[in-house]
């Protein structure tokens, strides 16, 4: 860490690039029209998307800055933040230029609508009521449903929302909802607190208040104390509940699992 140079950053980026999934079509490729990016029969190279490379460099720069290496790189002295060196910036510019010439279009996330949330929540709730579940499975299902509802209505980044602690949530005096006093980061403002409210809905499948209440009640029954720590706790592979928050990648994997199970259920129903 203390001896890292810009060449080390470049070597790391090149190594990471080998695992990229963005197809960068060559000019002679028949699929180089920009209309399609994922072509199974295409032999063109795959790279990390420009946005991913940009994010990696930003994270590296922040890591070195936190380690006391500053925000800039001095090539004359060979000191400073290696992730901020000109050669690294030039590499990022070259990646962007190459992908623009290849007409690489960034993939947009598919929007999730209230009907989608209702289907996912209904599926999780049916699992909760199915029986034959151990304590950890019940906890995970209740946690996931509460988190997905929170993510939908808060409009926050998953990584930020997962850092919410129970002490940041207040109940309205008339029991009509919750008040979140949360710290936003990248989504709106850097480090500013933002207070937002959630009202109780008549439809329990999309009601965030009901979802959190169910999750907290299950925690009490199972003897899991989530106050005053993180609201959405991680669970280890051996079934123990951690004091740390759920990781955003784990939350994404959980959502993908539910979607896959739903597709499988629908396919079996049509068979």
CA dihedral of residues 95, 97, 103, 106 (deg, nearest 10): 50
Strands ordered across the beta sheet of 169-171: 169-171, 177-183, 193-199
Per-residue confidence band for 187, with pLDDT thresholds at 50, 70 and 90: very low
Q: Which tens digit of pLDDT belongs to each residue from 51-90?
A: 888 888 988 888 888 888 888 999 888 889 999 999 999 9
If you average pLDDT over each of 82-86, 113-117, 164-168, 249-253, which comes out highest? 82-86
Torsion angles phi and psi, residue 23, rounded to 5: -75, 125
Whole-prediction pTM value? 0.59
Tokens of 248: 């955003």
Q: Are 119 and 262 in contact (CB under 8 A)?
A: yes
The runs of H, that is alpha helices, within the chain are: 6-17, 50-66, 86-101, 114-128, 135-154, 158-161, 208-221, 248-270
If you average pLDDT over each of 20-24, 123-127, 156-160, which comes out highest? 123-127
CATH 1.10.443, the chain: domain bounds: 114-270
Check if CATH label 1.25.40 holds for domain 114-270.
no
| Burial bucket for residue 15 (CB in 10 Å: 0-12, 13-18, 19+) | exposed
- Report the pLDDT value the prediction gives residue 146, as an integer from 0 to 100: 95
9-18, 29-38, 175-184, 236-245: range with lowest mean pLDDT: 29-38
Per-residue confidence band for 188, with pLDDT thresholds at 50, 70 and 90: very low
């Amino acid at each position: 860490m203390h001896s890292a140079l810009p060449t080390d950053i470049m070597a790391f980026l090149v190594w990471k690039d080998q695992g990229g999934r963005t197809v960068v079509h060559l000019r002679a490729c028949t699929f180089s029209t920009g209309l399609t990016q994922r072509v199974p029969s295409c032999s063109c190279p795959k790279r990390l998307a420009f946005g991913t490379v940009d994010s990696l460099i930003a994270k590296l720069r922040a890591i070195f800055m936190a380690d006391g290496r500053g925000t800039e790189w001095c090539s004359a002295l060979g000191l400073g933040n290696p992730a901020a060196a000109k050669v690294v910036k030039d590499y990022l510019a070259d990646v962007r230029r190459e992908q623009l010439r290849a007409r690489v279009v960034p993939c947009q996330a598919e929007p999730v609508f209230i009907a989608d949330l209702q289907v996912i929540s209904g599926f999780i709730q049916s699992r909760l009521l199915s029986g034959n579940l151990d304590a950890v499975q019940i906890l995970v299902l209740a946690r996931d449903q509460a988190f997905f509802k929170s993510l939908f209505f808060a409009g926050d980044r998953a990584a930020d929302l997962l850092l919410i602690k129970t002490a940041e949530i207040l109940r309205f005096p008339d029991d009509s909802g919750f008040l979140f006093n949360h710290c936003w980061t990248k989504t709106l403002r850097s480090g500013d607190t933002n207070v937002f409210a959630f009202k109780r809905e008549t439809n329990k499948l999309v009601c965030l208040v009901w979802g959190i209440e169910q999750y907290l009640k299950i925690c009490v029954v199972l003897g899991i104390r989530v106050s005053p720590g993180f609201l959405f706790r991680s669970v280890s592979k051996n079934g123990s509940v951690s004091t740390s928050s759920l990781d955003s990648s784990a939350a994404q994997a959980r959502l993908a699992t539910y979607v896959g199970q739903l597709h499988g259920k629908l396919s079996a129903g049509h068979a």
